[in-house]
Every structure is written in C-alpha cells, then in structure tokens.
Amino acid sequence: MQTFSTIDSPFTKTILPILRTFKDTRIYLVGGAVRDTLLGKASHDLDFIVEGDVYQIARAAADKLKGAFFILDNERRYARVIFHDDQDTRIMMDFAPVYENDIQRDLRARDFTINALAWDISADEGELIDPCGGERDLQEKVLEICSANAFTQDAVRIIRVARFAAEYDLQVSDQIKATLADGLAQIHTISEERKRDELFKILENASVEKAIKLLEELGILNVLLPELLPLIDFQQGSHHNYDGWNHTLHVLRYCRAMVGHLYTERKRDIMLPQFQDVEFLLDEYKDYLLKAFAQTLVIDRPMVSLFMFAALYHDVGNPKDEAIEKDGRARYIKHPELGRDLIGLRARKMALAKTEIMWLETFVENHMLPYIDVDAISEMDRRTALFHFYQHARHTSPFLALFSLADLLATYGENITAQRWELGLRRARMVLQGYYQEYDKLVDPVPLLNGNEIQFEFDVPPGKKIGVILNDLRRAQASGAVHTKQDARSWVRAFIRENGSD
C-alpha cells in the first residue's frame, strides 16, 4: 500500500507538515491530487475534506502558508486557499466537509475510481483509502465508474470520460460504455455553463485531439456540439488529404503541439518533418507568444482553450456552403462567414463572455486571410495587404499566423510540396513580424493628421467623411506611401480631389 512516506512531492514537503499540526482534526487529501501523486505527477490543485470546522482549518492554513482565504459556498461550507510556493507556483487548495460524515460514502459517490482516492494525512503513514479499486485501475490503465448509476447521478460526467481516458491513456471500461446512454439521456438537464466548463477543460488538455475524437466515437458529440457532425466524411476537395472531420482533428493536433512546444511539454505524437520549421519559428517569437497565451479574456479561462475551440470550429461552415469549382478545385467561399455565425451561436449558448465571443467570431471569420500571395505583390501592396489583415483579425492575428501552419499541414499532410510549405512559413513569419515588431506602423498606425486638422485645413465638414479619410490615411502610412506630415497633407489633398470633401 502506498503511503506518504514512500512518495516525494512538493505537497509532502511544503503543505503536509503544516496540515499535520492540526492534531484534533481529521483531514483527507482526495481526488485528482492523490491520483496524480500516485502517478508521480505534480499537482497544483489540491482538494481536502475535513472532519470538523472547515473554515477554521482553511483560515489557519492560509495564515501559515501566507496565502489568501476565500469562502466558495457558505451554505455547503466550502473554502479555498491560494498561495505561491518558493518557486512562485500558484497552489490552490479547496476544503469541504466530509459527505454525510463518512469518508467511504464520500468516495463511493464520486465519478471514476481513479478519482475516488483519499489519503488520511492525519495518520503518520498517510493511509491510502481506496474503496473502489482506483489504484488497481490506474495500474491496469482502465477508466471505470464508481457505481452503475454514476451518470444518472450527474450526467456531466459523460464529458469527463473523454478527458480522463485521453489524458491518462486509459481504456474506457465496458460498464461505462453500457451505461453511457443513461447520461446521454439526462445531459439536457445539465446547465450549459457546466457542460462548457467540462469541454474547456478538454480543450486546454495536452490530449485534446484524442479526447475530442473520443467524444465523437462515444456519441457524446451528438448532444454536446452537434453542428460539428456534418464534417464527418465531408469531402472538401482533391487537395485535401482528409475528410472534414479528420482534417479538423489534425489541425487540433498541430495547434496543440505548438502550444506544447512553447511550454516545453513532452511530445506525445510524431509530427511531420516540416513541424521542425514550426518549432524554429515558435522559438523566434517565443517571448511574444507566451505573453499572448498568458493573457486571458475571462479569469480562469485560459487563452489556450479559446484557441483550440476556434481551431475546432474553423471549418464548421464548409458543409453548409456551396462549392465553387475554380482551377479544378472545390472552394467554399462563404464558409468563414457561415462558420463565424455557427461558433457565435454555440458560444452564446455556452454563456461565454462577449469579449470571448467576439474573439472567436473574428478568428473563424478571418482564418483564411493569412493566405497572402507574397510572391505576386509589391512591397507596398504586401504592407497594404497586411494592414487589411490586421484590421480584420485584430488581436487574433498572431494566433491565426500559427493556425495557418497547422491548417496547411492538416490539409496536405505528407503530400505538401517544399514550395507550398515555404510560402506558408513566410506568410506566418510575415504576420508575426509585422504584429510584434512593426505594430505602430502596420497594425495600429496613428494618423499623421488628426480629425481637427483635416476639418480646418481642408474644409471637410464634421461627419463620416473624416473617419473615412483618417482610415485611408492610416492605410497609406502602413503601406509606406506616406511618411511625414507633409506627405499626409499631399495625400489628403489628392484624396479630396478624387473623392470630394462632402
């Protein structure tokens, strides 16, 4: 039997000694942190259940750890402590009372056996409590539910099946497959917010491609994201190596591999040789990109999950579009706009924030714009095209640059030519370089003349016309046609001659 004395982890070094000072209270570490410790993985989210005064223990722990104390649920007596360890890693500790004052009953009421584990940290040896055989299932690499009615007790657990099976490389048990229909029948009773939160945990997971594929294979996608189903077996044209669904899964793989490289995660899948070029590009802009992914539009919803959600939906408009034959290839001209509307509908149903919805819609609507033919245009036209892209893509621009490479690899696979790949790399680098190194010139140039100057120097009446002139002036500055204030005056004078001032 595993005990704390046999396991070396940050928890046993930092937190355990403090919690063991509460001699008169039984405290149990439960769930995922126990599972991860058994697997030798560090865990920064720790769940405790307490036989006694939860708030008193949590407050005292916060004081000793020099952390912050929060009440999560006053009715159920849930509390949270957040602190940073000596490596400045954020540690979150949740405290709750024992369910019905019975640790065995508490654990048996949980979802999967691998999560129904507890350590009695009050005991010297830290006894492992495992009423459902979770340690055995971890060793045998099986995902199993704690009881036959686990999904009827809480239907959102069916979404977790895909996450845990993919993340821990577990086989889904026959019992889960046999009872999954019970959860599917009840999933409509679960709030959209809870379903969303479970989905977004999948999207930020390193095994996102495998988990999404499992959602489809187990029939969960039908009730969770039904608008994605038409992509299955959807043939997109001769230049595509895969049907619409498998193309999407490959896009997810490459997008997640990019994120993994930025965060120096261990590689799980063998990539095409071209991915080494992607890694060089990521290293070149690593500091910028890490900051981009570190920014969040909503607290506790990582940008990685939004990026992956947008990648998942990028081609959802294809099956609704009518193919146009051009140069012997089927093209779906309207699919970005159709996809924008579909992801917007889903995001609103999920109750995502307005800023997140706008970001997702912008990403999907503009995911084809990075395909600028850099070899066929002059330097001035290239800069104008980049300005046009940035104006439409806005803050999704660097993410779309990365996505364009994933999309390219997922489209052609091993059949991609060196010329096509080199062009894709140049486009992505061009977008990143302009966004991060010429932002004030290419992305958001400040007009060399302001509205008042245009109004009084050129007798332009107040109104929309001034806004049009200012925006076109910014475009002229971005292209390199206008450099100085005198250039700007000459440009405005020519603009008015051609278009009038009214």
In the predicted model, is pLDDT for residue 502 greater than 50?
A: yes
Q: What is residue 1's predicted lDDT score, i.e. its pLDDT? A: 45
Kindly state the percentage of the chain with pLDDT values over 70. Answer: 93
Overall average pLDDT of the 303-314 stretch: 98
Overall average pLDDT of the 139-146 stretch: 97
Q: What is residue 269's predicted lDDT score, i.e. its pLDDT? A: 65
The per-residue pLDDT for range 30-89, each reduced to its tens digit, is: 988 899 888 888 788 899 999 989 999 999 999 998 999 999 888 889 999 999 887 788
The per-residue pLDDT for range 80-104, each reduced to its tens digit, is: 999 988 778 888 999 999 987 889 9
In the predicted model, is pLDDT for residue 360 greater than 70?
A: yes
**Cβ neighbours around 52 below 10 Å, total:** 13
Length of the chain: 502
The per-residue pLDDT for range 151-163, each reduced to its tens digit, is: 999 999 999 999 9
In the predicted model, is pLDDT for residue 488 greater than 50?
A: yes
DSSP H stretches of helix in 16-149:
16-19, 32-38, 54-65, 103-108, 134-140
Is residue 92 classed as helix, strand or coil in its secondary structure?
Answer: strand
DSSP codes of every residue in 222-254: HHH-GGGGGGTT----TT-SS-HHHHHHHHHHH
486-495 burial string, b = 16+ CB within 10 Å, else e? eebbebbeeb
DSSP H stretches of helix in 221-334:
221-224, 244-262, 275-284, 286-294, 303-313
Band (270; pLDDT cuts 50, 70, 90): low
What pTM was computed for the model? 0.91
User: What residues contact 236, with CB distance under 8 A and at least 6 apart?
Assistant: 243, 244, 247, 315, 318, 330, 332
In the predicted model, is pLDDT for residue 371 greater than 80?
A: no
Q: What is residue 451's predicted lDDT score, i.e. its pLDDT? A: 92
Overall average pLDDT of the 447-451 stretch: 94
Which domains, and CATH codes, for the chain? 1-136 (3.30.460.10), 141-224 (1.10.110.30), 227-443 (no CATH), 451-499 (no CATH)
Burial class (CB in 10 A: 0-12, 13-18, 19+), 360: buried
414-427 burial string, b = 16+ CB within 10 Å, else e? eebeeeebebbbeb
Overall average pLDDT of the 146-151 stretch: 95
Strands 45-51 and 90-97: parallel
